[in-house]
Amino acid sequence: MQNTRLAKLLEFLKSEPNDSFILYALATEYNSLNDKENAFTYYLKLVNEHPNYVGTYYHLGKLYEKEGNTEEAILIYKKGMEIARGKRDMHAFSELQGAYNSAAGLDYEDD
């Protein structure tokens, strides 16, 4: 049985195939269903076709980390930080920087 939310999103996509929010919602839904292949497909489509959709970078980076590809995650976080800085979205920048620091082993605590 197909997920109702996923079915609705796929229906929305038919009428708005280039809508960045729908693409993001699909990627996130597939990710939550542990369908990594489709999640990667939609996240990468966003990065390539809607590079300023800043929310993509955090989740794509986390998906790369989950797959054990830390190097690619770090590159995605860096790119996301550039985009967030350019958009003056300091909240997104901060989240991406935290993820980057963690992936790069820079998240240490002072004793």
- In-domain check, residue 111: no
Q: Is 47 left (phi over 0), alpha (psi -120 to 50) or beta?
A: alpha
Q: Mark 13-24 as b/e (b = at least 16 C-beta within 10 Å).
A: beeeeeebebbb
Amino acid at 84: A
CA torsion, ordered 34, 35, 40, 43, to nearest 10 deg: -70
CA-based angle 36:28:10, to the nearest 5?
95
pLDDT given for residue 3 in this prediction: 75
Domain region containing 36: 4-103
pLDDT tens track of the chain, all 111 residues? 457 999 999 999 999 999 999 999 999 999 999 999 999 999 999 999 999 999 999 999 999 999 999 999 999 999 999 999 999 999 999 999 999 999 999 876 554
- In-domain check, residue 22: yes
- In-domain check, residue 52: yes
- In-domain check, residue 33: yes
- In-domain check, residue 108: no
Single out the residue of 34, 103, 33, 58 nearest to residue 43, CA to CA.
58
Considering the entire predicted model, what is its pTM?
A: 0.90
- In-domain check, residue 110: no
Q: For the chain, how many structural domains are there in total? A: 1
CATH number, position 48? 1.25.40.10
